[in-house]
Amino acid sequence: MHWFALPILALSARESVDNSDEQTMLQVMDRTVRKGMGHMSPDMGPDMSMGKGKSMGKSMGKSMGKRMGKRPVRGMGPVGMGGLGNNVVGSCVTGADWEALYDLGTPMSNEQEAPTVQQFGSTLGELDVTALTADIRRVMFNNRLFWPADFGGVSDGVFSGEGGSDGENGNYGPLFVRLAWHCAGTYRMTDGKGGCTGGRQRFEPERSWEDNTNLDKARALLAPIKIKYGDGLSWGDLIIAAGTTALREMGTPVRQFCLGRVDEPDGTNSFPLGIGGQPASSTPPCEVQGMCEAPLGAGTVGLIYVNPEGPVVEAGGSPVPDPALAAANIRDVFGRMGQDDRETVALIGGGHSIGKSHGACDIPHAGGLSPFEAYEQDQMFAWDGECGQGSGLRGKGDFVATSGIEGAWTTRPTYWDNEFFTYLVEREWELFTGPGGKYQWRIVNADAAEEDLMRMTTDIALITDDSYRAIVEEFARDQKAFDEAFDDAWFKLTHRGGMWSPDSKCDVGSVPSWVTAVGNNRMLDSDIY
């Protein structure tokens, strides 16, 4: 099914764009940019190369310095930001605007000034959470031609089609949910490291992990909101607020989210999670890529959880598309994350109730270069996909290659329901190699409406393992049980790890004490590791 071909059927009130505070956004943006330049100078040489004493890895600092010295610097001055004008959320974002926004979410300098805990706390208190979620909705439903949305807006489950031009109707909800999951899913119970707090996905090594392909676009889409709210909104909070708001907009009953994640100025604290996809250089080393052991949180360095095609079981080997092996791998890895079986099934099935996987073609480097590689080679943007033809189409829309697996899980991928589970148990699934050259599963003898639906080996694992299957069957017959389990698991997933401000607050109710506790979150009843 080509989601781009869906006709425009309806526009909901929620999708109409209110531009009333765009001028304010522009002014704040200009101020922020100038402030950023001012703050940057002490650590930058006259040629803008990196100064001494930065906390990033040695080789990284060196290579970044080299790039910063010889490259135009994006997003750091009136020229870079000038085109943003009064269109930060509305239409007509120019190429220069997109470059500047891109650089805020994936800074070429590989570092970004972060406010102190005190500065953050004092401005967080003034942050209007209702206004923030309204801005997230506006960004979520505004198509941007630089990275066209997979889906049109949706109202009560009715697609309204792809936006024809910039600033029109689109739906980035699933992308924002994946962004939040990948940010939070680095958390590991083994030693409490990881999590979205710190907002380190902007930096190396996380931004160049294979799993985080194309999340640079999601951060760029959200950058205007970071600019508007400034120090009072951390990147960690913005990413989780975006994922949670997106879920709610698509119908997921999420009761609460909290703000107060303290941003970090670089990615240093992510290095122990695994470095740049190189198992041999991770800390601690991973002997067999695909079977990395605790304390590493993931089975595969460069993937935050498990291999979707099935585990790799020998050094240098290929994925084995065996759902039983995948189930064991999931239990091990999600256990290291602190999730029990019920939470694991709710999270995987909930996440895959929406959105689609991207594997448009099977060519080498279909997804493009990581930020680390792209910046090294003087490219302006990373993950510049190579499927499809023509400058306007290549690597975008129907031609996106992210994981290499292609297709949506459900017939209504921007609508929250339990079809992921009902189809798992009511249909028969068979293994095949998809258009992206990866193992994936399809419905046997599918009718036209279902022939493009897909499952990953890790999804099929949920019906081959007895314990997981019992939970899948329960969620297939009881939507409310699924809703409640997902809500609890999502809150836990997105609120663990890292440093929280003493001034943390929630959109509804108070902050649970474990969230802000020092060394948070290893004292929950449900913690199983």
Positions annotated as catalytic residues are: 182
Contact flag: residue 351 with ligand HEM (CB under 6 A) = yes
Give the residue among 191, 439, 206, 419 at the shortest CA–CA distance from 304.
Answer: 206
Among 160, 201, 244, 357, indicate the residue that binds ligand HEM (CB under 6 A). 357
CB 67 within 8 A of CB 378: yes
Which is closer to ligand HEM, CB of 200 or CB of 356? 356
Distance CA 156, CA 211 (A): 31
- What x/- string results for residues 302 through 341 when contact with ligand HEM is judged by CB under 6 A? ---xx-x---------------------x-----------
Q: Which stretch binds ligand HEM (CB under 6 A): 106-114, 200-208, 233-241, 355-363?
A: 355-363
Neighbours of 317 (CB within 10 A): 13
Shortest Cβ 53–ligand HEM spacing (Å): 38
Q: Which stretch binds ligand HEM (CB under 6 A): 157-165, 193-201, 343-351, 381-389?
A: 343-351
Give the residue among 525, 427, 415 at the shortest CA–CA distance from 479.
Answer: 415
Distance CA 275, CA 166 (A): 37
Contact flag: residue 290 with ligand HEM (CB under 6 A) = no
Instruction: Select the residue whose beta carbon is closest to ligand HEM and give its number.
Output: 351
**Encoded tokens for 18:** 């209110």
Shortest Cβ 350–ligand HEM spacing (Å): 5
- What x/- string results for residues 171 through 210 when contact with ligand HEM is judged by CB under 6 A? ---xx-xx--x-----------------------------
The SS3 call for residue 135 is helix
Distance CA 351, CA 185 (A): 12
Shortest Cβ 149–ligand HEM spacing (Å): 9
The tokens 């585990």 sit on which residue? 311
Which is closer to ligand HEM, CB of 68 or CB of 273? 273
Neighbours of 389 (CB within 10 A): 8
Which is closer to ligand HEM, CB of 195 or CB of 265? 195
Amino acid at 34: R
CB 475 within 8 A of CB 97: no
Among 402, 494, 501, 516, indicate the residue that binds ligand HEM (CB under 6 A). 402
Contact flag: residue 405 with ligand HEM (CB under 6 A) = yes
> Which residues does 2 contact at the CB level (< 8 Å), separation at least 6?
398
Which is closer to ligand HEM, CB of 308 or CB of 368? 308
**3-state DSSP of 392-411:** CCCCCHHHCECCCCCEECCC
Q: Which stretch binds ligand HEM (CB under 6 A): 106-114, 130-138, 344-352, 375-383?
A: 344-352
Which is closer to ligand HEM, CB of 121 or CB of 236? 236
275 CB-contact burial (10 Å; exposed 0-12 / middle 13-18 / buried 19+): buried
Q: How many residues does the chain have?
A: 529
Chain residues that interact with ligand HEM, rule: CB under 6 A? 150, 174-175, 177-178, 181, 305-306, 308, 330, 347-348, 350-352, 354-358, 402-403, 405, 456, 458
